[in-house]
């Protein structure tokens, strides 16, 4: 006697076929194919931006924007499809769509749950990698890692600091948990690859390290991402830089640009006092690097022409702008000193006599000889010790 398969047996077999798909090499693709075999209907997973992640048949056409516009998916058909929400850590990230109504609603819901499980598994793996990268970047930012060791540890994460990179820093007023858990690119999860750009969280800010000239493009995508789940989304972009020290300085540049407010902002030359007041809110502000950046035109000129513009400027500031006392200290004529200061102004575009520029140059020359790991408090401690 041939056994007769009951409806319950068939239902169990269908659920088993869907569950077994998660053991395949490409689980989500296998899941959609299994659901297509069971229902004989076109099936797709579509992210909330309207991107078709998986479709069986591959050439099936989908009204993607219309399908994802329904949030949460309704029980009634939309554009001829029944929909179920795919969630990751409680957040809807995609929809499972089936054309027609060939499969029981319960089976479709089960498939959507399995899709969420697979995305969560892949997301957990990438999140672990980002956490490890975040620890390395925190050590770099704090100045705990030297150039060689920092470069080695970053290379373990696929970042070659011998090539120029830009740093993108973003933040939004919202749940820090969502910032860590909300996926940015579901295609990355499905292809089982690393993030297209190194991405992590540092001090509850989203940090990306991208190749030179990619910063502004990535920053705009980053802003769109942050604005989707938090208010006052802000993104800053650094200048392209080389090496571990460059990466560290780039982080502070991007964070300073971030402080300009809502939207995307590219680092621009700031008054050093302003930059330091922002950067020194956290330990490890790179005062030495910021000072070298502020005095770069003078340092380059001194090196090329064997002059002493920086030393002359430092002495002038140390004498509170007294021309006679400075000239005597340097053993030069007052006119010689006046010409040097005029050249300083031409090279930097700053009037030395203005109070704001005076503070800028004082901080820059005082911080220039400090170690890379020095912060603002180190400068004032040093000044206090010298005054005693």
Confidence of residue 182 (pLDDT cuts 50, 70, 90): low
- Average of pLDDT values for 230-254? 88
The DSSP line for 148-207 is HHHHHHHHTTT--TTS-EEEEEEEEES-HHHHHHS-S-HHHHHTT---SSEEEEETTEEE
- Residue ranges of the chain assigned to CATH 3.30.450.40: 7-121
- Average of pLDDT values for 243-272? 82
- Average of pLDDT values for 108-117? 93
pLDDT tens, 15-30? 999 999 999 988 999 9
| pLDDT attached to residue 176 | 67
| pLDDT attached to residue 45 | 93
Residue 293 token pair? 């950046």
Whole-model pTM: value is: 0.63
| Interior angle at CA 287, CA 330 and CA 341, nearest 5 | 30
For the cut 80, the answer to whether the pLDDT of residue 280 exceeds it is no
Q: What is the dotted CATH code of the domain comprising 7-121?
A: 3.30.450.40
For the cut 50, the answer to whether the pLDDT of residue 225 exceeds it is yes
- Mean pLDDT of the residues in the chain: 81
Contacts of 83 (CB under 8 A, 6+ apart): 67, 70, 73, 74, 95, 96, 97, 98
Confidence of residue 388 (pLDDT cuts 50, 70, 90): very low
Q: What is the dotted CATH code of the domain comprising 122-282?
A: 3.30.70
- Residue ranges of the chain assigned to CATH 3.30.70: 122-282
| pLDDT attached to residue 371 | 45
| pLDDT attached to residue 91 | 81
pLDDT tens, 122-137? 888 878 888 888 899 9
Confidence of residue 181 (pLDDT cuts 50, 70, 90): low
Q: DSSP assignment, residue 23?
A: G
């Amino acid at each position: 006697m041939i056994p007769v398969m009951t409806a319950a047996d068939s239902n169990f077999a269908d659920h088993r076929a869907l569950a077994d798909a998660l053991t395949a090499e490409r689980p989500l693709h296998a899941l959609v194919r299994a659901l297509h075999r069971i229902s004989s209907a076109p099936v797709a997973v579509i992210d909330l931006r309207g991107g078709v992640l998986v479709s069986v048949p591959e050439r099936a056409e989908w009204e993607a924007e219309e399908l994802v516009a329904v949030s949460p998916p309704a029980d009634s058909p939309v554009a001829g499809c029944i929909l179920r929400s795919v969630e990751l850590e409680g957040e809807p990230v995609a929809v499972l769509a089936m054309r027609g109504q060939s499969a029981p609603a319960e089976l479709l819901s089960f498939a959507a749950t399995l899709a969420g499980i697979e995305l969560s598994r892949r997301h957990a793996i990438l999140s672990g990698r980002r956490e490890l990268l975040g620890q390395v970047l925190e050590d770099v930012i704090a100045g705990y890692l030297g150039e060689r060791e920092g470069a080695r540890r970053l290379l373990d994460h696929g970042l070659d600091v011998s090539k120029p990179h830009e740093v993108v820093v973003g933040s939004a007023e919202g749940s820090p948990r969502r910032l860590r858990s909300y996926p940015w690119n579901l295609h990355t999860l499905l292809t089982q690859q690393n993030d297209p750009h190194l991405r992590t969280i540092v001090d509850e800010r989203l940090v990306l390290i991208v190749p030179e000239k990619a910063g502004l493009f990535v920053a705009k995508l980053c802003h769109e991402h942050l604005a989707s789940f938090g208010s006052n989304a802000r993104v800053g972009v650094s200048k392209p830089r080389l090496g571990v020290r460059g990466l560290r300085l780039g982080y502070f540049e991007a964070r300073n640009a971030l402080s300009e407010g809502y939207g995307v902002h590219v680092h621009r030359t700031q008054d050093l006092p302003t930059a330091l007041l922002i950067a020194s809110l956290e330990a490890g502000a790179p005062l030495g690097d910021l000072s070298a950046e502020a005095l770069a035109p003078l340092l380059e000129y001194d090196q090329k022409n064997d002059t002493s513009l920086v030393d002359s400027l430092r002495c002038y500031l140390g004498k509170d702008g007294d021309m006679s006392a400075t000239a005597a200290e340097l053993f030069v004529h007052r006119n010689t000193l006046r010409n040097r200061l005029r050249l300083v102004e031409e090279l930097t575009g700053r009037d030395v006599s203005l109070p704001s520029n005076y503070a800028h140059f004082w901080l820059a020359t005082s911080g220039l000889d400090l170690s890379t790991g020095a912060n603002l408090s180190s400068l004032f401690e040093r000044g206090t010790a010298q005054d005693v």
